[in-house]
Amino acid sequence: MHLRHCFLHWVKPRNCLLSHHLSSNGYFLMPCAHGPERDRITSPRQFTGRPKGASRVVSDSLIRFLECYDIPLRAFTRHTRISGWAIRQAKDGLRNLPPRQELVIKLTIERIRTGKIWPRRVNPRRLDLEWINPPYQPRCPTGALYCTGGLLPASCPRHWNECIMNSKNWESVEGIHTAWKQNQKESGQIQAGE
């Protein structure tokens, strides 16, 4: 008697208490402890990893952000210590970034947008990302009434051509923030330690 798709199998008893359940051949049917017999050849985790293009969205948004604000990819990779080659491979969908690196990319983009990290020119050919403490706040350089002001280059909410925040030059926008900070220090609203 051979049961094919049943969760029972033949077992020889270890003690004589089960002898009344024995069949004619000295074995009895016992339920399998873990269900049906499993396939031991293929791994149960096979084909459960991330798909090939999983990092494409993050790397595309990074490349678009860097192009929009004229930040070199090399400056970003120096700051985050993520390989530029790995970012380009993820953008093309050839190789995924580890999830932790994706998180670092998202956090760094958010910190640049909020003024906590700022690109500064080290020499005429090199731009580096540096931490700003305290972070810059949105300012209106023209002092327009009811203008919330911008934080990054080309971020004037009113899109005025005469506004310095409409330029793409990081140095001129940083000059606005440092001049405002110096003005606040002179008037005594900010302590000298900041």
Quick: pLDDT tens for 108-127: 999 999 999 999 999 989 99
- The domain segmentation of the chain, as residue ranges, is 1-36, 56-131, 136-194
Predicted pLDDT at 48: 66
Share of the chain above pLDDT 90, in %: 39
Going by pLDDT thresholds of 50, 70 and 90, the confidence category of residue 61 is very high
Cα–Cα distance measured from residue 56 to residue 15, given in angstroms and rounded to the nearest whole number: 62
The three-state secondary structure class of 120 is: strand
The pLDDT of 127-136, averaged and rounded, is: 92
Q: What does the radius of gyration of the chain's CA atoms come to, in whole angstroms?
A: 32
**Other Cβ atoms within 10 Å of 16 Cβ, number:** 8
Q: Which residues of 31-63 are buried (b: 16+ CB within 10 A; e: fewer)?
A: eeeeeeeeeeeeeeeeeeeeeeeebbebbeebb
Kind of pairing between the strands at 126-131 and 8-11? unpaired
* pTM assigned to the model: 0.69
Going by pLDDT thresholds of 50, 70 and 90, the confidence category of residue 59 is very high
Q: Could you read off the pLDDT of 16-36 as tens digits, one per residue?
A: 555 555 555 666 555 555 555
Cα–Cα distance measured from residue 85 to residue 73, given in angstroms and rounded to the nearest whole number: 10
Is 50 exceeded by the pLDDT of residue 5?
no
Cα pseudo-dihedral 77, 121, 126, 59, rounded to 10: 30
Can you list the alpha helix ranges (DSSP code H) found in the chain? 56-68, 73-80, 84-91, 99-113, 170-187
Is 80 exceeded by the pLDDT of residue 88?
yes
Q: Specify whether the CB–CB gap between 172 and 154 falls below 8 A.
A: no
**In a 10 Å sphere around its CB, with 0-12 CB exposed, 13-18 middle and 19+ buried, how is residue 157 labelled?**
middle
Cα–Cα distance measured from residue 148 to residue 157, given in angstroms and rounded to the nearest whole number: 7
The pLDDT of 48-71, averaged and rounded, is: 90
In sequence order, the β-bridge partners of residue 139 are: 150
Paired tokens of 163: 């506004």
The three-state secondary structure class of 68 is: helix
Paired tokens of 193: 């330690």
Cα–Cα distance measured from residue 152 to residue 117, given in angstroms and rounded to the nearest whole number: 11
